[in-house]
Structure 1
């Protein structure tokens, strides 16, 4: 086994050990199995009670990724969405100590762990174009409801502590997920091309502005893996990256990893159709959609280059290479 594989195995083993310690805070889980579902920014586990068959989701936070106060802010927003909207979300569960967040300390690192309700459903299939188009119309409507909630309860939510997703924290001098310049598969020509894209994004966002009708508390990661299809409903999970950002950025995140697919224009049209059932979109906003898609694409290049997990290994440098055509089209002001 290579050193890289050994390292990843050790990391996942550590998260598993932390998960086993965290579940002890929930004595109703007298007998359970713990299965790793996903490792990205954090580790997510399926917890199943072997007696009752009940399922839960346990999230073990990566040390240093979020503060406890930021996770408390995420929980506050999730609870308000459940209480004050019709959107179906996975809810946090209190432990026996009355707390939603359990702190596990190991080797001078603190892991924040949270148990959530399990939601039935399956993620959209990116290879089923017809179904995906129908689902994006529903997603547009749900996203608009989420934004309406954010706007309506702005005063109540403005004081929660969450990261701000803007040019600076995505592509600029303080990127949360690393620098796109350090992405895989970079060449001098590609660096020059993407730099022009980044500069154009900066200029257009500056002109676009961040008024209250365009910028507020958003999910920030509505990619397909964080959506669950259950009949005609779409359930939203994983608010781990929620923060203050552009509302249209939520559309861009829905297209994560598939921005270069030929059916994307149809997905955008369907999303807009659903969104406008709830909230209007000006022509100026519609024209700026490619800007947010390109910003997200460069952000994901940075993420792939700075992370080591199954997804980043699968995508590799090809994701960067496939961005060239999108970059050229964006610079030429054509629709992605």
Structure 2
């Protein structure tokens, strides 16, 4: 009898690596290259090294997550950002067939792949509060630039096919990342507490509204892992989840997985300082920041409970349990 047990994470990584090996064939510049897995989350991201020393990033998409048209819209926005702003982003590279999105079939399932330019830099260190403060001021500035571009080019960007990150798709009846109720370590008391939070968020967002100054095309996943610090510069990567949502949701996503840290109020103040260098933010909007943070936190509980990767394994049940105090404080603060 074999003692080997099935490991879904290992199985998935092997499959995505196989697909990546087939995807590089679409690019003559990668005819002699090696691939190395960098990250496996919603997608699998690989570093591609050529024999001549060039580096590229290859993304193998999770099947049935985004359509080819949706990915093409993401890549078009990247090109527009690069053309019309000073924000540093990783740019898509066209394949030999003239397409930016390549389709690779594996076990009768299509996977969409894209190749990007490589950017130097390292993710911010969540343990280094001093550096995080200055980095969040820069991030606030960059985020405001993205939002300004989104507002000024609203009509053009609205033609893009991207997900709507509203209450329904985050915490409601059609959650893109799964139901928070199915998260790890759920008890009757915790379900009751989080349900009160979810309902409060729903009420407040309905009052907050979706005016053009508050809601538009956003990155929607500006967590630390999607930022690259290179000296005094911050570069933005992984626009895979960009979509239409509240601009303040971008702030909440930058605090992903660290919402419970004691330095969060300081980071928020630094972000606001940077943001207001570019565009205004009313006191009413600032007061609603906790709503977006808790919405994101519940969304991440759903994500941790429904995914199998190194991040979710590391976070485990503790991530849900550490949310209790955040939830109680939110309800106390937001009593209306």
TM-score (norm 2): 0.98
Residue in structure 1 matched with residue 5 of structure 2 by the alignment:
3
Change (3 A) 1:9 1:274: same
Is 1:329 matched up with 2:326? Answer: no
Per-residue CA distance 1:301-328 (angstroms, 9 max, x = gap): 0000000000000000000000000000
Corresponding position of 1:90: 90
RMSD in angstroms over aligned alpha carbons?
A: 1.1
Q: Deviations over 1:217-254 (max 9, x none)?
A: 00000000000001111000000000000000000000
SS in 2 for 1:46: strand
Asked if 1 retains the 8 angstrom alpha-carbon contact of 2:37 and 2:46, the reply is yes
Partner of 1:17: 18
1:267-319: CA deviation from partner (whole Å, max 9, x where unpaired): 00000000000010000000000000000000000000000000000000000
Deviations 1:107-149 (A, max 9, x none): 2200000000000000000000000001000000000000001
Residue 111 of structure 2: aligned partner = 111
Residue aligning to 1:41: 42
- Unaligned regions of 5+ residues in structure 2, if any? none
- Structure 1 runs (4+) greater than 6 angstroms displaced: none
Deviation at 1:105, TM superposition (A): 1.1
Distance 1:4 1:270, change over 3 A: farther
Residues 105-184 of structure 1 aligned to structure 2 (within 5 Å): 105-184=105-184
Q: Which residue of 2 aligns with 1:185?
A: 185
Distance 1:186 1:3 in 2: 27
User: How many residues are paired up?
Assistant: 333
Secondary structure of the equivalent of 1:206? Answer: helix
Where does the alignment leave 5 or more consecutive residues of structure 1 unmatched?
A: none
Aligned to 2:28: 27
TM-score (normalizing by structure 1): 0.98
Tell me whether 1:203 sits opposite 2:233 in the alignment: no
Q: Residues of 2 paired with 1:109 and 1:331: CA distance?
A: 44
Tell me by how many angstroms 1:79 deviates.
0.6
Instruction: Look up the SS of the partner of 1:77 in the other structure.
Output: helix
Pick closer, same or farther for the CA change 1:151–1:4 going to 2, 3 Å: farther
| Whole-angstrom CA distance in 2 between matches of 1:80 and 1:138 | 21
